[in-house]
Amino acid sequence: MKALIPFSIPVSGLRDGQHRFDFEVDHAFFAAFAESPIAQGQLQVHLDFDKRPGMYVLEFAIDGTVQTPCDRCLENIQLPVAAQHRLLVKFSDEERADEAEVIYVSPDLEKLNVARYVYEFIVLSMPMIKVYDCENDENAVCNEEMLSYLDAEVSPNSETIEEANPIWDELRKKLNK
């Protein structure tokens, strides 16, 4: 949890207006979250914090890389991640459920820890298919052996398939009628 302490913003001591905070996200940050899908990463987070009467407007800009297995060749790659997110923080004396882009806090709040939101924004910024064009990199990490399996094409008429799956014979009979 020590890795999350720098993400606490002393909101009670801030004047109204624009403030800028910069954070570094690394492996210690991700280790603080149980069962995180990300273990390694190197990201910079720039937070534009606008303190207004009755609310805060937080604009997050996230840029960097996370280590993840490539969905194509299964090697660990440094996947580029870039994102912009906005979060509104409103005051409420009553306990209210957070919304998609709005959270509610007590007006007496002294510190606002944004680590959870930074983590969620990073995870949401990960693409569904984790690949990138690494052929142009100097030290391409692609596992060529694994890629060769993807390149190998097996036609439905192949004997290998017939031996592995006799259903092809029945399908051919139905197609040839």
Structural domain contains residue 88: yes
Structural domain contains residue 132: no
Do residues 142 and 134 lie in contact, with contact meaning Cβ atoms separated by under 8 Å?
yes
| Residues 106 and 164 reside in one and the same domain | no
Structural domain contains residue 134: no
pLDDT at position 173: 80
For the ranges 7-16, 69-78, 129-138, the lowest mean pLDDT is seen at 129-138
Q: What total of structural domains would you count in the chain?
A: 2
The Cα-based distances of 70 to 75, 95, 123, 142 in angstroms read 5, 42, 16, 8
Q: What confidence tens digit (pLDDT) does each residue in 68-83 have?
A: 888 878 888 888 899 9
Structural domain contains residue 135: no
Do residues 131 and 70 lie in contact, with contact meaning Cβ atoms separated by under 8 Å?
yes
Structural domain contains residue 24: yes
Residue 100 has pLDDT above 90, yes or no: no
Residue 162 has pLDDT above 50, yes or no: no
| Strand-strand pairing, 8-9 and 76-91 | unpaired
| Residues 118 and 157 reside in one and the same domain | no
Give the residue carrying structure tokens 């954070």: 23
| Residues 33 and 95 reside in one and the same domain | yes
pLDDT at position 157: 52
Which residue range(s) make up the domain with 115? 2-125
Residues 100-120 have a mean pLDDT of 91
Residues 128-155 have a mean pLDDT of 68
Q: How many CB atoms lie within 10 A of CB 55?
A: 14
| Residues 82 and 158 reside in one and the same domain | no
| Residues 28 and 71 reside in one and the same domain | yes
Structural domain contains residue 48: yes
| Residues 47 and 100 reside in one and the same domain | yes
Who wins on pLDDT, 68 or 155? 68
Nearest to 52 by CA among 91, 104, 93: 91
| Residues 69 and 151 reside in one and the same domain | no
First-to-last CA distance in the chain?
Answer: 68
Residues 27-56 have a mean pLDDT of 92
| Residues 86 and 151 reside in one and the same domain | no
Residue 170 has pLDDT above 50, yes or no: yes
Who wins on pLDDT, 145 or 15? 15
| Residues 121 and 161 reside in one and the same domain | no
Q: How many CB atoms lie within 10 A of CB 17?
A: 9
Structural domain contains residue 137: no
Structural domain contains residue 133: no
Helix or strand holding residue 28 (H, E): helix 27-31
pLDDT at position 127: 86
Q: How many helices (H) and strands (E) does the chain have?
A: 5, 7
3-state SS record for 127-171: CCCCCCCCCCCCCCCCCHHHHHHHHCCCCCCCHHHHHHCCHHHHH
| Residues 99 and 171 reside in one and the same domain | no
pLDDT at position 155: 47
| Residues 106 and 148 reside in one and the same domain | no
| Residues 82 and 54 reside in one and the same domain | yes
Residues 107-131 have a mean pLDDT of 91
